[in-house]
Structure 1
Amino acid sequence: MPKPFTPKVVTANALLEGDVIYQTATGWSRSLAEAEVLTDEADADLRLIEAVQQVDMVVGAYLADVDTSGDTPIPTHFREDFRAKGPSNYAHGQQEALSNV
């Protein structure tokens, strides 16, 4: 028996900058909060195919599980949580703006 489909987002890395990006309904965003949450398996597969074909913009596109019980999607796997927070090097990326580090 197949596993039930859970909500997902399409994620990848920006080709030029290497930043983690998420597919939105109209393009790409560096914010998981702006990601398009996909709840239909066929729709998710189509959106992933679209992402993989954007070889001039993204690399390594895949579907990532998210929890949608709150206001914004939350990663359900440690790897995705780590990626959403930005690079572990505080000198650049999303963590550069954090005041508590």
Structure 2
Amino acid sequence: MARAFTPKVITANDLLEGDVIYLTADDRWSRDLAEAELITDEAHAQLRLLDAESQPSKIVGAYLADAIAGHDGPEPTHFREDFRRTGPSNYRHGKQETSPQPRA
């Protein structure tokens, strides 16, 4: 029996700056996970991923990441994605200074 589809967001890295970015429902790339489109249909998720992958001049490494609906938008369900959204781990700078720490 097939497993039920888990909601997803599309994430990638900005080609020029390297930041983690998320695809929004209105086809923008945002650095804020709360603005990401939460996709609940597997076929729609695959189509949106194809759309994302067709933008090699803007992004690199697009993939589907598990997420759940949160109070302020999608929230990651895996530590890796929670960690990625805060940026590089070498020291606190940029968006790390204004973001909450990843959950341990």
**1:32 is aligned to 2:33:** yes
Structure 1 unaligned regions, length at least 5: none
Q: Normalised by the size of structure 1, how large is the TM-score?
A: 0.89
Q: Normalised by the size of structure 2, how large is the TM-score?
A: 0.86
Give the Cα separation in 2 of the matches to 1:99 and 1:43: 31
Q: Secondary structure at the match of 1:45?
A: helix
Give the Cα separation in 2 of the matches to 1:62 and 1:99: 24
Give the 5 Å matches for 1:1-101. Answer: 1-26=1-26, 27-68=28-69, 70-71=70-71, 72-90=73-91, 92-97=93-98
Structure 2 unaligned regions, length at least 5: none
- Cα–Cα, structure 1 residues 2 and 86, in superposed 2: closer, same or farther, change >3 Å? same
**What do the CA deviations read for 1:24-44 (whole angstroms, capped 9, x no partner)?**
022110000000000111110
Kindly report the root-mean-square deviation, in angstroms, between the aligned alpha carbons of the 2 structures: 1.8
- Cα–Cα, structure 1 residues 99 and 40, in superposed 2: closer, same or farther, change >3 Å? closer
Give the conservation status (yes or no) of the 8 Å contact 1:19–1:93: no
**What do the CA deviations read for 1:40-88 (whole angstroms, capped 9, x no partner)?**
11110000000011000000000000021x3121111111010012221
- How far did 1:99 drift? 9.4
What letter matches 1:8 in structure 2? K
Q: Which consecutive aligned stretches of 4+ in structure 1 deviate over 4 angstroms post-superposition?
A: none
